[in-house]
Structure 1
Amino acid sequence: MARPRKFDQERVLEQAMNCFWERGYTATSMKHLEASTGLVPSSLYNGFGSKDGLFAASVEHYIDRVVRQRVAFYLQGPYLSGKNKGQDDPLAGIEAFYYDCFEGPEGRIGSGCLLINISTELGPRDKAIRKVVVSGMRLVERSLSEALTRAQQLGLLDASVDTKARAQHLGLLLNGMLVQARVSENNRWLNVAMDNVRSLLH
């Protein structure tokens, strides 16, 4: 009979996620995970099997609790904007989505995105990680396309714009920005990058 878990799994996954997000997979030791979650090794192993098991669960938690929630709030609308008198403004939603993507653990802009971080660290040699990362990217790209289409329907974006191609362009730009956030010593670049984002929204 399996031993019942004696910890809050959501809280543990949140803390482990933040640890991997900040440090990366390789640099995160079991000692780091014990410190961040407050659990002893036996509890972590009983709950998740291994560091790999906890990492996989943490990445799924990130997609569910960060990516999906962020996408739902900003891109899947309606997004109510003061700039458009409280009406649905998908373009303002996209802009706000981009800014929010740079809020990592404890609001630090340099944390980047967990999916992008692990794609550059593990993606070249780990097919399972590549699959998860691609699924997250596709979710964002589809949602960007849907938001752009909604903007067209509302008369906020020219009807001639190919929303799928524009969403792909925006997605690639976002990925590059998230890498830049990870390596930059300051955030002065963000305003310039956001000007490029806005140029694709009008």
Structure 2
Amino acid sequence: MARPVEFDRETVLDAALLAFWKSGYAACSLQMLVDATGLSRQSIYNTFGDKDGLFLAALDHYRAKVSIQCEMIEASDADQNSLRDFIFNSISVQQNLGPGACFIVITAFSPQACDAKIKPALDAGAQRVRSALKTFIRNAALRGEFNPQLSPESGAAHLYAVMNGLSALAQTGGSKEHMETALDLSLQTLFPKTGS
């Protein structure tokens, strides 16, 4: 009886994620996934079921990575420097590993976003980031730093939109100075007592 193929799941999912991220689901062929992961077609089928299964596993893998990054702004002592680092580190990862935008956001604009298996994972991934931003804002509010005319929910939604807008700005010729100025304007509105 043949032994099952052994491989490091983390490494395989990293490779599959990058392939899907850079090429998109539709353009990423099974052969591209074989080449990227080093797995045979049969191993992919045996382990993940099919291309859809591997995509979902890669999406969950990405969400887990994002969740870990979110922890830096959920700490009770996280300040605006922590928030800035979180936002610009996220954009840096998107530029260095992906095509310059969040994997979840890119997928949300693809036909796969309508898939009944994929849509909930996309929503949960985006909600994880907004939840972390809301936690950051609530902690800032306890210190009297957050604009009392706004709700933590609206502030988190605004920051989530700003994060993804900054990614678009970076990909369309915006300089680091432009990005920092845009973020400053948002932070001055959300946290008027501390400024930027």
TM exceeding 0.5: yes
C-alpha deviation, 1:106, in angstroms:
7.5
Contact in 2 for aligned 1:90/1:148 (Cα 8 Å): no
Q: How many Å separate the matches in 2 of 1:104 and 1:154?
A: 31
Report sequence identity in percent.
28
**Correspondence for 2:69:** 70
Relative to structure 1, is the Cα distance of residues 76 and 60 closer, same or farther in structure 2, using a 3 angstrom cutoff?
A: same
**Correspondence for 1:98:** 87
Amino acid of the structure 2 residue aligned with 1:58: A
Please state whether the residue corresponding to 2:92 is helix, strand or coil: coil
Q: How many Å separate the matches in 2 of 1:186 and 1:109?
A: 17
Q: Which runs of 5+ in 2 are unaligned?
A: 192-196
Equivalent residues, number: 189
Relative to structure 1, is the Cα distance of residues 89 and 9 closer, same or farther in structure 2, using a 3 angstrom cutoff?
A: closer
Please state whether the residue corresponding to 1:147 is helix, strand or coil: helix
In the alignment, is residue 151 of structure 1 matched against residue 140 of structure 2?
A: yes
Structure 1 runs (4+) deviating above 3 angstroms are: 1-5, 155-161, 175-178
**Correspondence for 2:6:** 6
Q: Which runs of 5+ in 1 are unaligned?
A: 79-87
C-alpha deviation, 1:45, in angstroms:
1.5
**Correspondence for 1:41:** 41
Mean Cα displacement is larger for which, 189-198 or 50-59? 189-198
TM-score (norm 2): 0.82
Relative to structure 1, is the Cα distance of residues 93 and 19 closer, same or farther in structure 2, using a 3 angstrom cutoff?
A: same
Matches within 5 A, 1:1-202: 4-65=4-65, 67-72=66-71, 74-78=72-76, 88-104=77-93, 107=96, 110-123=99-112, 125-178=114-167, 180=168, 184-188=171-175, 189-202=178-191
TM-score (norm 1): 0.80
Q: How many Å separate the matches in 2 of 1:161 and 1:92?
A: 21
Q: How many Å separate the matches in 1 of 2:38 and 2:98?
A: 26
RMSD, matched Cα: 2.6
